[in-house]
Amino acid sequence: MRNNDNGFSATRRLILQGAGAAALVGLGSSFGNLPFGFAPANAANDKYPDEAFKAKSDADAIKALYGKTAEASDKVKVDAPEIAENGAVVPVSVTTTLADVTSISFLVAENPVALVASYKIPAGTMANVANRIKMAKTSNVIVVVEAGGKLYSATKEVKVTVGGCGG
């Protein structure tokens, strides 16, 4: 259920989680360092994926977000600069010819938190997203596309002259 109060209710849910509300015990436990084998956030769920945004490595973030691993695919095209002079603002976009795309996520392997952004793509929205991300240093940028229930990824290295994460 989506409504205008989406953001508010997301925040409220976070607070409830912290309080250990009975109905949210399952979600609440994801605050722990448990393996992410259970109830991975799926694309239809509008809950903010906290645990995925805490994961340090790209592999952990993808697992926390989707509960599975991605396979490299040449059907996912990442457009990013070879060299970024300013790591604080790196334009990255993705297009794909894959059908039934439900979600697209951007990760930077060498950032302190690998996951940068995760987009939900409802039916009728094109699998074509551009955004601007921060990069701490030269790193692989990984884009994961969820299509037809499977995960596909593409990786591109971007050389960063001046880091954008204050490292």
For binding to another protein (CB under 8 A), which residues are involved?
2, 4, 6-8, 10-11, 46, 48-49, 53, 88-90, 93, 108, 111-113, 115-122, 124-126, 128-134, 136, 164-167
Of 93 and 140, nearer to another protein (C-beta) is 93
Q: Dmax over Cα atoms in the chain, in whole Å?
A: 49
CB 8 within 8 A of CB 42: no
Of 22 and 126, nearer to another protein (C-beta) is 126
Least distance in angstroms from the C-beta of 54 to another protein: 9
Least distance in angstroms from the C-beta of 57 to another protein: 14
Give the residue carrying structure tokens 């509300």: 21
Nearest-angstrom CA–CA distance, 80 and 72: 17
Of 45 and 69, nearer to another protein (C-beta) is 45
The two tokens of residue 35 are 């393996």
| DSSP string for residues in 55-94 | -SSHHHHHHHHHSS--EE-TTEEEE--SEEEETT-EEEEE
Of 22 and 84, nearer to another protein (C-beta) is 84
Least distance in angstroms from the C-beta of 37 to another protein: 21
Of 7 and 20, nearer to another protein (C-beta) is 7
Give the residue carrying structure tokens 């250990």: 20
Least distance in angstroms from the C-beta of 38 to another protein: 20
Nearest-angstrom CA–CA distance, 52 and 62: 7
CA 9 to chain centre: 21
Least distance in angstroms from the C-beta of 86 to another protein: 9
